[in-house]
């Protein structure tokens, strides 16, 4: 098995990232929008020339007025999960924003996404807000 290496994302990597997202059943529209409209920063986990992990971030000004690194997406290929790839990608993002003087990180996660919540909690993230989604059905 090839070992995993890590590097910064470049726009020329996007098709390979899309291949990862589609292979893992993850939507790519949100990530494409973030890349197109924001000063985004992203990192890749590579196995050979294949992208097996991706974290997408952007700088944001939180509601409390603190500048944080916003994690917009993180996906690791199923075949590589549970081996520390997600944690390493998060650490790369954190160290980038820390070095640039940001106050911390911020992200949204679904309440039922146990692996992701555990990852974030194990890295010191705490819940600051529970959101409710409301909808109405037209009859």
Binding site for ligand COA (CB under 6 A): 74-76, 81-87, 109, 113-116, 118-119, 122
- Give the CB-nearest residue to ligand COA: 86
**CA 107 to CA 49: how far, in whole Å?**
29
Residues 6+ apart with CB under 8 A from 85: 4, 45, 52, 53, 76
Smaller CB separation from ligand COA, 2 or 84: 84
Smaller CB separation from ligand COA, 102 or 106: 106
CB 74 within 8 A of CB 54: yes
Q: Are strands 67-76 and 104-107 parallel, antiparallel or unpaired?
A: parallel
Query: At closest approach, how far in Å is the CB of 120 from ligand COA?
Result: 8
Smaller CB separation from ligand COA, 101 or 111: 111
Q: C-alpha angle with apex 99: 124 to 8, nearest 5 degrees?
A: 90
Smaller CB separation from ligand COA, 129 or 137: 129
Query: At closest approach, how far in Å is the CB of 75 from ligand COA?
Result: 4
DSSP SS3 for 78: helix
Query: At closest approach, how far in Å is the CB of 101 from ligand COA?
Result: 25
């Amino acid at each position: 098995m090839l070992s995993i290496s890590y590097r910064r994302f470049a726009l020329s990597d996007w098709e390979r990232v899309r291949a990862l997202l589609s292979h893992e059943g993850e939507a790519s529209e949100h990530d494409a929008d973030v890349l197109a409209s924001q000063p985004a920063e992203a990192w890749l986990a590579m196995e050979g020339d294949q992208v097996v992990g991706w974290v997408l971030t952007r700088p944001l000004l939180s509601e409390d007025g603190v500048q944080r690194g916003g994690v917009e997406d993180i996906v690791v290929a199923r075949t590589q999960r549970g081996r520390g790839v997600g944690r390493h990608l998060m650490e790369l993002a954190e160290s980038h924003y820390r070095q640039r003087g940001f106050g911390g990180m911020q992200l949204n996660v679904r309440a039922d996404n146990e692996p992701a919540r555990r990852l974030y909690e194990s890295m010191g993230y705490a819940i600051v807000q529970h959101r409710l989604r409301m909808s109405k059905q037209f009859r």
